[in-house]
Amino acid sequence: MSFFGFGQSADIDIILNDAETRKKAEHKSEDGKKDKYFLFYDGETVSGKVNVTLKYPGKRLEHSGIKVEFIGQIELYYDRGNRHEFVSLVKDLARPGELTQSQTFDFEFTHVEKPYESYTGQNVKLRYFLRATVGQRLNDISKEKDIVVHTLSTYPELNSSIKMEVGIEDCLHIEFEYNKSKYHLKDVIVGKIYFLLVRIKIKHMELDIIRRETTGTGPSVYHENDTIAKYEIMDGAPVRGESIPIRLFLAGYEMTPTMRDVNKKFSVRYYLNLVLVDEEERRYFKQQEITLWRKGDVVRKSTSHHSVIASQRFEGSSNPDKSGCQSNEDHES
C-alpha cells in the first residue's frame, strides 16, 4: 500500500432493485432538513446491488472482505457511543482477496422484520439503513443508505370517546368531549366544550396538540414537550349553557404515530391540551392523551363509488347517514 496518495481506493453505491417503482417518503433529519427516502413496511424484502467502482482503473484493490448489512438502530443523542441495534443482518459479498476491476454484487434480505417506525426526534433517533463495507487494513471503505419505515395499523376495535367534567370549585366547570380516543394521522378531532359554570372572565380558548418524547429509563427519565399545534376554538367570554364545537383536522400537522416504550428505550406520546385564558392572562388547562396511528393508503377500486359519496356530501341528496342529521340538529340561531 502506498503512502503517497496513489493507493487504490473505491467508491461504493447501493442501488435498490425496485428503485423505479418503490414510493418515497419525506423524513426530517436531525438538523431539520427534509429529504426523501425509499419507503418500506414490515416484512418487505430489501434487495439490490452494491457497485464497487475502483478509483484508478487497472490497479488492484486488496480487501479483507466485502459485505452488506441491514441495520435498525436506536441512537440517543446524549449517549452517542452506545447505539443500540435491534435489527442486524449481514450478507457476505466477497471473501478476503483483491478486486482487479469494478464489480457489482447482488444482495437480498428476505422478508425483513421492521418492528418500529423511523423516527427522528429531539433527543433520540431510530433509523434503518443499508451499509456496504469493503474491508481495508487501516480504514474500511463503507457507504450507508438510509431508508424510511412506516408502521401501519387498521381501525381499532375499541375506540371510545373521551368525555369528562372538570373545573375549579365555584369558579369554572366545563364538560369536554372528543369523539374518539384513537385518531389516525389524517383524521379529524370532532368535539365540544360545554360550559356548566363560568365565574371568571374568559378571553379565549384554544386546543393545543403536544408531543412528549420520553427517553431513558428508571431514575434518568427525560421528557421533552413540543407544542405541535395551537388552534383557537373560541374568542370571547362564554356563559353557562353554551357549547363550543371543535373540528381539528390533523392532516395539516407533522406528526408520527404514538410510540410506546420502543425497545424499552423511548416513547413518543401525544396529548390534547385544552387551554382557557382569562382577561388577566391566567391559564386554565386540561391535558388528555390521545393515541395516533398510521392508516395505510386505500387503493380505490372503483371511481364511481367515490364520486357518489362526493356528490352526497356537496348536494345533500339521498343518503340519510351522511346528510340528513345535520339539518335536524341545526338549532343555533
Partner 1 sequence: MSEPAVADTRRLNSKPQDLMDAYGPPSNFLEIDVYDPQIVGVGRNRYTTYEVRMRTNLPIFKLKDSCVRRRYSDFEWLKNELERDSKIVVPPLPGKALKRQLPFRGDEGLFEESFIEERRLGLEQFINRIAGHPLAQNERCLHMFLQEESIDRNYIPGKV
Decide if residue 172 touches partner 1 (CB under 8 A).
yes
Q: Which H or E run contains 313? A: helix 303-315
Chosen residue from 57, 96, 97, 241 binding partner 1 by CB under 8 A: 241
Q: Which of 138, 158, 239, 299 binds partner 1 (CB under 8 A)?
A: 239
331 is a site residue for partner 1 (CB under 8 A): yes
Site map for partner 1, 255-294, x if CB under 8 A? -----------------------xxx-x------------
Binders of partner 1: how many residues, by CB under 8 A?
Answer: 43
Least separation in angstroms between CB 129 and partner 1: 34
Q: Minimum CB separation from partner 1 for residue 296, in Å? A: 11
Query: Which contiguous run of DSSP H or E holds residue 141?
Result: strand 141-149
Answer for which of 28, 60, 201, 223 binds partner 1 (CB under 8 A) is 201
Helix (H, G, I), strand (E, B) or coil at 311: helix
177 is an interface residue for partner 1 by CB under 8 A: yes
Only one of the segments 9-17, 225-233, 253-261, 325-333 lies at the binding site for partner 1 (rule: CB under 8 A); that segment is 325-333
Distance of CA 202 to the CA centre of its chain: 36
Dihedral of the alpha carbons of 88, 93, 97, 98, in degrees to the nearest 10: -120
Q: Give the footprint of partner 1 on residues 151-170 (CB under 8 A).
A: 155, 168, 170
Least separation in angstroms between residue 320's CB and partner 1 is 13
303 binds partner 1 (CB under 8 A): no
Nearer to partner 1 among residue 43 and residue 245 (C-beta) = 245
233 binds partner 1 (CB under 8 A): no
Name the maximum alpha-carbon separation found in the chain: 88
- Which of 194, 222 has the CB closer to partner 1? 194
Cβ-count burial of 203 within 10 angstroms (0-12 exposed, 13-18 middle, 19+ buried)? middle
Question: Do the strands 182-184 and 283-293 form a parallel or antiparallel pair, or are they unpaired?
Answer: parallel
CA triple 307-308-310, angle to 5 deg: 60
- CA distance to 166, 183, 191, 194, per residue, from 273 (Å): 13, 15, 13, 16
Q: Work out whether 212 is an interface residue with partner 1 (CB under 8 A).
A: no
User: Given the rule CB under 8 A, which of 15-23, 51-59, 224-232, 239-247 is the region that contacts partner 1?
Assistant: 239-247
Q: Quick one: CA dihedral 230, 235, 237, 242, positive or negative?
A: negative
| Min dist. Cβ of residue 186 to partner 1 (A) | 8
Torsion of CA 282, 172, 246, 275, to 10 degrees: 20
Return the percent helix, strand and coil in the chain, to nearest 5: 10, 55, 35
Whether the CA torsion 215, 88, 19, 102 is positive or negative: it is: positive
To partner 1, the closest distance from the beta carbon of 125 in angstroms equals 32
Torsion of CA 162, 245, 256, 45, to 10 degrees: 90
Among 60, 310, 318, 319, binds partner 1 (CB under 8 A): 310
Least separation, in Å, of the C-beta of 191 and partner 1?
6
Q: Give the footprint of partner 1 on this chain (CB under 8 A).
A: 155, 168, 170-172, 177, 179, 186-188, 190-192, 194, 197-201, 237, 239-243, 245, 247, 249, 278-280, 282, 298, 305-306, 309-310, 313, 322, 325-326, 329, 331
